Amino acid sequence: TPSNSSAASDVYKRQIVILLVFSGCVDITANWFLDAEGVIKNTVIVETSTMIQADAQMFITALKFALPQIFRDILWRTSEKENVYFLTPQSTLTISDLKHAGLNIMFSSERFELEIPKVLEDEPLSPDDVVLTLTIVFPWNIDIANTTDVQGNKVTWRVTKRMLYKGTTLKALFLKP
């Protein structure tokens, strides 16, 4: 199980501040395609209802600040659909990169764990508001995960403000091949 550390908590706090500042006007979905060696193809989709392009650029700059190791060379493009932006890192991202960025993450052929430590000091007014949707396609089928949204080798977690207040670990166990 990943251990709680102040470095990881600091990284998450920077990320969460960014997500919370924009949470009223954006829906953020991170899509990971993870191979057996821990290489991640990552796309972040940002859908806005009220954000104009200048605000979107500010959000992307904030992401680069929050996680420079991951978003240092991000390519962003707009969708044919208005107010939808796709953010894609241009270099390879690995589980190791995420660990070096301060995230407590564990990945093997048996399990996946990503710790989300307590980062909010005060209980949120809207605890069920989703601040991030994380979908991961794994190289193996899922046996069990701590979410109800599991389809074969694909799992989706919706990270809420309550989870940021209490802390949690996203977990998935894989079926034996």
Cα–Cα distance list, 43 to 29, 62, 77 (Å): 8, 16, 11
The set of residues, in sequence order, having a beta carbon less than 8 Å from that of 71 and lying 6+ positions away, is 60, 63, 64, 87, 89
Q: Give the separation between CA 6 and CA 46, rounded to whole angstroms.
A: 28
pTM score = 0.81
pLDDT at 36: 96
Phi, psi of 85 (to 5 degrees): -125, 140
Is 56 in a helix, a strand, or coil? helix
Residues in the chain: 177
Q: Give the separation between CA 147 and CA 158, rounded to whole angstroms.
A: 8
Q: Which two tokens stand for residue 111?
A: 């399990």
Half-sphere exposure for 63 (CA within 13 Å, toward CB): 23
Q: What is the pLDDT along the chain (177 residues), one digit of tens a residue?
A: 444 455 555 655 555 555 555 555 677 788 999 999 999 988 887 777 665 566 666 666 766 666 666 666 777 667 667 777 777 777 788 899 888 877 889 999 999 999 988 888 889 888 998 888 999 999 999 999 999 999 999 999 999 889 988 999 999 999 977
CB 30 within 8 A of CB 133: yes
User: Which of 30, 28, 21 is closest to 114 using CA atoms?
Assistant: 30
